[in-house]
Every structure is written in C-alpha cells, then in structure tokens.
Amino acid sequence: MTIVKSAFSRHSSRLSSVFAASTVARPCSTPTSNSTTAPSSSPSYSSTSLFRRFASSMAARNVYDSILTTLSKPGGGEIGKYYSLPALNDQRIDRLPYSIRILLESAIRNCDEFQVTGKDVEKILDWEKTATKQVEIPFKPARVLLQDFTGVPAVVDLACMRDAMNRLKSDPNKINPLVPVDLVIDHSVQVDVARSENAVQMNEDLEFQRNKERFGFLKWGSNAFQNMLVVPPGSGIVHQVNLEYLARVVFNNGGLLYPDSVVGTDSHTTMIDGLGVAGWGVGGIEAEAAMLGQPMSMVLPGVVGFKLSGKLPNGVTATDLVLTVTQILRKHGVVGKFVEFYGDGLQELSLADRATIANMSPEYGATMGFFPVDSATLDYLKLTGRSDDTVAMIESYLRANKMFVDYNEPQAERAYSSYLELNLDEVVPCLSGPKRPHDRVPLKEMKSDWLSCLDNKVGFKGFAVPKETQKKAADFSFQGTPAQIKHGDVVIAAITSCTNTSNPSVMLGAALVAKKACELGLEVKPWIKTSLAPGSGVAKLYLEKSGLQKYLNQLGFNIVGYGCTTCIGNSGDLDKDLTAAITENDIVAAAVLSGNRNFEGRVNPHTRANYLASPPLVVAYALAGTVNIDFEKEPIGISKDGKEVYFRDIWPSSQEVADVVKSSVLPDMFRSTYQAITKGNPRWNQLPDSSSTLYSWDPQSTYIHEPPYFKDMTMSPPGPKPVKDAYCLLNFGDSITTDHISPAGNIHKASPAARYLLERGVERNDFNSYGSRRGNDEIMARGTFANIRLVNKLLKGEVGPKTVHIPSGEELSVFDAATRYKSDGHDTVILAGAEYGSGSSRDWAAKGPMLLGVKAVIAKSFERIHRSNLAGMGIVPLCFKAGEDAETLGLTGHERFTINLPSNVSDIKPGQSVTVTTDNGKSFECTVRFDTEVELAYYNHGGILPYVIRNLINADQ
C-alpha cells in the first residue's frame, strides 16, 4: 500500500488537474443507446474509471478553498457551496465586466497550481491593466457543445485516438470526455421538397435515407463514450436547443454551484450569451481537447461596453437591430474581444432579441456578445419550462456572487476597454448584402443601393453589369408556363437560421405579413423557392396555436424541417429551366433569407446577390419578386380587387406582434417539445446498437473514414519542421472566409470530390452535401478551397476553385495541384490579406489545408478561431509586418518560400519575428502568430490531439 501511495504522490498535481476537469461531470447517468437524458438540477454522475477515482482521492487542495461559502435556502437548509467572489474582499471585482467575472470564477474554482495557478487568477483580477498586454490565461468551460456537422469528425477523432492508444499499448478506455458534452444532431435539411404540407416528413425521410450511416455512427458514439448526451435528429438547430433546453445558467453539481459556460464547435454558439451563459465557438480540435480535460489557453480579452438606450420604433424588428449592431461593431473593430451590453435599453429587449444579437457575434467579429443575467433572463427560463426551484437557485447564486443585474438597484460603474452607445429609437428597417453580413442597407435606400451595385465594379458591393443590359429580361418556361427573369429578381426566399427562428416576434411577425397578404389576394411566383425552417418544434406549436401557419403555407412557406437549410447552402436545386435562363443570360438573381451568412457561393451557385433580412421582410420580398423595388413608392402587388397594394398595407404594428406573441407562446410548448426529445424518435431508436469500444472502420464507406492524423505516431514529439523552398498553393486578397476554405453545400458534379464518389459507385443523386460527409477526410480534403467564387490571384482574374501548379504552369483544381506538390516532395504555403479565416469556426478549414500539405499561411491578419485552429493542426500562422503585404513586397506567388524558424521549439516565442526568404532574393520579416505557450506545445507535438494522447499516456508513467 505504501508503494501505491508513493507512486500516485509523484503525480498528484497532474492527477488533480484531471480531477479539476471532472468536477464538471455530466449530470446524468451512464448513457444508454438513446443517450438523451434531460439535464437535471439534481445531478447524479456517470461511472468513472479507477484512474479518475484515484485522481479524486489524491487531488491537491484548492488554494482558494478558504472562500468556499454556503448558499442557504430562504426557508432554511443548504442549496450548496460556491467559491465566493465577495469573500476575496478585492475592490477590483466591482469594476470587472460581468463576462470577465465568469472567467475569474472558473480560474478560482479550478486553481490547482498546475493547469491553473494563483498567478492566473491575479491576471484576471487585474484585468484593467493586464487586458492591454496580451496576457495568456487558462479557461475550463463547464461543458462542450457539438453539432452534427462537427460532432461527426469529433467522434471520428475520438475513435481514432482510441485506436492510437490501443496501438501504443495504453488503455483506450481512457479516451472519454471528462467535461460534459452535449451533441445535437441538427442535421442540415436539403430543401428538396419545399411547397408541400408534407415537406417535413418527406425531407426527414430523405435525410435518414441519405445519412443513416452517419447517424448510426453517432449512436455508436453515444454508447461508446461516457459523459456524452446525444440529441437525436429532427429536434432542432443546436443553438436553439441549447438556449431552450440544454443551458443550465448555473450548475449545481453535487452541491457545488458555479456558472454555466460552454464552448461549441460552431461560431454561433454565441447565441447562448443572450441568456447570460458565457459561450463562444471554437474549432472541433480545440473542443476535443477541452472535452478531454485540457484547459483552453486564451488571451485575456478586452471588453467593449455597448450601452443601449431607448426603445425600438413601431414596426422595427430585432433583425433590423442586429444588422445595425453588426455594422457598428464591425466598423469599431472587435475581433478577439468580448462585447458586453448594458444600459436601460436592455429592459426593452426580450430574451429572444438578445439572443438574436448574441448569435451574430461572428458576423461582427467578437468572441462574445454578452448579456448579463437579469429578471428578463429568469422570465425566459420559466417560459421555457425550467422549474421554479431551479430558477430560484440560479437567482440566489448569481446575486450572492455579484453576477446578477438588478435594474431596481443603483448600477455600479464597470470598466470597459472601449465604449459604444446606440439609441434604439434610431434603428430603422434594413437588410444586409449583397455579399457580406455587415454591409447594411436601410430599407428606404434598397433600390438605389441595388442599382449602384449593378453599376459598380466587381467587388463586395458590385457586379459590373453594363448599363445597356441592366433591364434585360430572359425568357424561360416554368412547368409549361412562359416566364421571365431580370436582374434582381428573387428566386430564393427562405426563413431560416437559428438567428431569427429563435425569436417569436419576428416569426409571428412574418406570419402576420402572410395573413394580410393572403387576405388581399397576393401570391408568390411559383418558381421562387420559398421555405421555412424553424430552429425547434416549439415554433411550429406557436405558429399553429396562433392560427397563422396556414397563411405562410398558402404563400409557399411550408415548414421543411428543423435544421440548417438555406443559410448553410442547402437550398436545394432550383428549377432547371430557371437556372438555364440565369446562366445563359448572366442574370444576377437574388436570394433573400433571414440567415446570418450571405458570402458569395454559399447560399446557392445561381444567386449572386444574397440579402439578409428579417423573416417579415423575407415574406415581403417574396411577394414583390424582386429586390429592385422602392417599398415606399412602388406597389408590392395587385390585390384580388385590382388595387395596388403597398408595403405599408401588409406590415404589422409592434403591438399586433406583441399581442399574438403573448397569446401564442406558452411554457407547456417547450416542456412537451423537449420531453419528446428525451424519448428519441422511431427512426433513431431503430438504428442498431453496438457495445464495442473500438469502432469497426469500413474501408468502403464514403461517409466515415479513418483519417491519417495518428499514422506512424511515436511517443516522442516530432518538434518543429522546417519550411524550405515551399511553393505558393494559393495567393489571396482580403476577406477570405472559412466559407471559401471549408467544404460546404452541395458537391459540384465537376469537383474532385464528385470524381472520388463516382469512382466508388456513388450515383450523383446520392452525393449529398459536404456537411453530411464531414466524417470522411478523403471527401473533405478534395472539397477544401472548392468554393466556386474563390478569387485566387494566381489565376489573374479568373474566379473558381482552381490554381496554377507553378513548376508546370498548368491550371488544376486546388486538390490536384496540392496532390502533385506532395507527391513530388514539395511543401506549400498560402499568401493572404486581411481577416483571413473570418466566418464559421470550422475545424475542416484547418484540417483540410493540413491534409493538402500546407505548412504555413502568411496573412495580413487572421480571424481568432481560424488562427488558433491552424496552430492546432501544426500549420504555422505568420503575419506580415504592419503596412506590408504581398503586394507592397512585390510577391506574385510564383516564388519559393523558406521560413527561417528555429529548429528547437524552446527557441520559438509567441509573437516573435522570423525572416522569410524567397528564391529570387527577396527577404521580409513576419510575426509568428503562435500566441501562447500552449499553442507552441501543440505545434511541437504535431497538433492538439497527439499532444493529448501523449499527456494521457505519460500521466500513468
């Protein structure tokens, strides 16, 4: 026994770090085959291994245990204990933003002087001074959220890690999430069937037919991995399920109280910030490391204080507000920062309005758009079915720990890094587009802005259509009926995306527009692809209770499913005669959608103009049939009585909307919807179960494939690898997004991915989307940089997913060129401009380039998540020095690049300068964007996942 004690004492600090991660264990029992146990306010625990039981028994005492405080019930008795911020008796806390207080509490609770130290706590306490110095802190989120698209590769990677552990003669059962994982299968719904009352059933039948293998794999994962809750397909969009059901706001974990916080594998995890839960998007690889107990290393962020005052005018929607906020914050510059909203104006915003603003954080570039918990938060928790006892516990804890805002009390002045203010009275109806979410256009200026876009040179606000062809009309036949299409005509009108379908006011507002339009006899042209995809089944219930769904159906806005659709490129095919007319006549057709993304090539290959708008405006533009209209002066249509109908005739007042929301949105709707989720559904329950710990890889599968990340892995880290005489694979300008990089949408018939599938006997009708095949690295590598709107300077003006193979001068697909470079033993690099990697936080935007052989990206600036993901995949992120870029340095991309990194990782420091030389004698300095020591450790190990495996194995030695 003495020998056992001494063996464990040698590793007590490391073991205590594992225990620190386990203190946020899943509040549910060991998952069953359905694994849909509802979150509980009175948790039990999943079974633990012998290793973790020893870890807990040997855990070092937290140095802040002296401030553990008992929270009592009002009538007597104990709710639990918590680490009390007031007990620190530190006046700096009162000036801290609420979002920073959550980071502080986490650091205190997890302080083990190994992964989290007292020095880290002090850095956060001294935020006013340290936030300007780019200091590094560790953060342990309370839970991890995975969506279907990124959940599949995450489970693939966990399965591969188990295989690697098995090959390395370690215990594969150690690969289990230590932090609770919520995985929502929010399968994207291809809008194959739109205008049909049976659209949901038909689309979901198609989805299960296409994705049965993928769903079966996730069901295997729900059995194979402890501490993982899987929400079956057809339940809703991940972010809305998180808001309505999964979020705890405050955990009561075996008597220990602490704030809910979450990182998710989609950038719109930020939607939960509207509920006062600190959450943001991370890459899949980063989330996997967090699942396995690794602290997230982050730079202590600055916090922009955004004061809201006033009240939204009559007829102005939350979408109008969020597009306005997005433009303001993008202009201000908030990349890598928290935005915290405050002020009396918050009392005028519903929780759903706040969630709409928070959801758009990636579009304005912030890590979070945070709304501290107040009485409106508590009201929403009750509305969505949380128990009175749970809500009372949440309020008591947050008040006691200085994390609750009470507008009936004097507000202490908080410090912010910078300050912004918006009077809600000044917000006007608007859209954003035609190519970026922050290019806001006031509704009254829409026609003039559209006409200028036709005139302007090709760019974010231009199509360069010659004057003499701007009024051209192209004839086509739609199902035997003669029709015409002109520039600006709407061909897709979609109420989609978690941003707006979480908000009853805009959803019911859209239904009221439909009602007024139907009563006047207005119709939508039959070739316009209309669809409605709510974020959860709750929207269906309140639309039906209001009696308004029938009017949406009448205009073609039938519910097609409860997942991502048009916003992520799953609008489905348009009529073939319509697309022929668009293509042959070079028509700039339009889509209007209530989504949050409108980058080129994302929505549909045949809509070059894509506008974001509120759900009511989506209906209005569907009725008008064009974006080339002035709603103030031109009629939207002709009534059944032959009279002109104007926009004002169908637009509901704010009071009309508020009345129908009050009478139609009820707590029982949320309870019944999520009680059904816990039971699964017949299709999910019929999928076969498996008790095998190791996954049986099928080499013939085109959905699930074992990637090469751990091929030939050894116990010794490989260390930095030199980048010498590398060719430039791609040469980009500014604003290359992860939508340009990452495989998304449909698989184009002429793409390398299509060629791969055809070679394996997959019919074109069964190609499915890139999203549904994210568990197959062979598909995803071929779909990397496959966006049809990619602008690569090596092609000298040509747009598309190709590049020049420098040695031969041939134009090839990006995948084929990369494959040729790799087979010839050549490294590659990418040149880029500003904001490289903005957009969704997709792991494949980093995994794909790594699989293509890219060793470094040299850019003017990076989006936060993408830069971190590149580092996590072993790709070197480099920034040009201020005032320099590829153009000012005279780089064409035809050079060969050598990056003079030190050969020993200990000689590389975050933010240091390195010299890059070319084969034609040019030399320039770049900044190495490994921002933390932890990122350097990941790079040294060849990535996050090998780092975690080696650490887990070493923990036993």
- Using one digit for the tens of pLDDT, what is the confidence trace for 181-236? 999 987 667 677 678 777 877 877 877 887 888 899 999 998 899 889 999 888 88
Of the two residues 916 and 267, the one the predictor is more confident about is: 916
Interatomic CA distance for residues 333 and 344, integer angstroms: 24
The answer as to whether 26 is a domain residue is no
Together in a domain, 625 and 732 = no
Residue 956: the pLDDT is 64
Is residue 613 pLDDT above 50, yes or no?
Answer: yes
| pLDDT over 90 at 903, yes or no | no
The residue length of the chain stands at 957
**Residues 768 and 898 both lie in one domain:** yes
Average pLDDT in the 511-522 region?
98
634 pLDDT more than 60? yes
Residue 176 CA, distance from chain mean position: 24
Do the domain assignments include residue 770? yes
Determine the Cα–Cα distance for residues 182 and 247; give it in Å rounded to an integer. 10
Do 569 and 499 share a domain, yes or no?
Answer: yes
**Can you tell me the distance from the alpha carbon of 815 to that of 804, in angstroms, rounded to the nearest whole number?**
11
Tell me how far CA of residue 387 lies from CA of 42, 241, 372, 378, in angstroms: 12, 17, 21, 11
For residue 957, what pLDDT band results from cuts at 50, 70 and 90?
A: low
Indicate if 620 and 480 belong to the same structural domain.
yes
Max avg pLDDT among 292-301, 494-503, 541-550: 541-550
Edge-to-edge order in the sheet of strand 303-309: 368-370, 338-342, 303-309, 418-423
- The lowest-confidence range among 194-198, 490-494, 923-927 is 194-198
- What is the C-alpha separation between 19 and 552, in angstroms, rounded? 52
In a domain, 176, yes or no: no
In this structure, are 524 and 609 located in the same domain? yes
**Predicted pLDDT of residue 746:** 82
| pLDDT-derived band at 765, boundaries 50, 70, 90 | confident
- Whether residue 464 sits in one domain with residue 590: yes
When pLDDT is cut at 50, 70 and 90, the band that residue 404 belongs to is very high
**What is the domain extent for residue 788?**
723-941
Across 136-155, average pLDDT: 90
Lowest-confidence segment of 120-129, 277-286, 655-664, 872-881 by average pLDDT: 277-286
Q: Among 282, 261, 283, which Cα is nearest to 272's?
A: 261
Residue 771: the pLDDT is 82
Whether the pLDDT of residue 41 is over 50: the answer is no
Tell me if 334 is assigned to some domain.
no
In a domain, 849, yes or no: yes
Mean pLDDT across the stretch 313-341? 94
**pLDDT given at position 418:** 97
Domain with 658 in it: what CATH number? 3.30.499.10
Residue 654 sits in the same domain as residue 735? no
Residue 23 falls within a domain, yes or no? no
- The whole-number average pLDDT for the span 822-850 is 90
Considering the domain architecture, whether residues 747 and 659 belong to the same structural domain is answered as: no
Whether residue 539 is found in the same domain as residue 606: yes
Torsion angles phi and psi, residue 588, rounded to 5 = -90, 90
Mean pLDDT computed over 3-32: 32
Tell me whether residue 45 is in a domain. no
Per the CB < 8 A criterion, the answer to whether 511 and 546 are in contact is: yes
In this structure, the answer to whether residues 586 and 471 fall within a common structural domain is yes
Last residue of a domain, one of 647, 665, 683: 665
Q: Residue 2: its pLDDT value, please?
A: 30
Q: How confident is the model at residue 646 (pLDDT cuts 50, 70, 90)?
A: very high
Final residue in a domain of this structure, among 615, 644, 665:
665
Q: Does 115 fall in a domain?
A: no
Nearest Cα residue to 446 out of 617, 293, 581: 617
CATH number of the domain that residue 787 is part of: 3.20.19.10
636 lies in the same domain as 783: no
Give the count of domains, the chain. 2
Average pLDDT for the chain: 88
Is pLDDT above 50 for 938?
A: yes
Residues 655 and 744 in one domain: no
Cβ-based neighbour number of residue 444 at 10 Å: 14
Residue 894 has pLDDT above 90, yes or no: yes
Task: Give the pLDDT score at 1.
Answer: 28
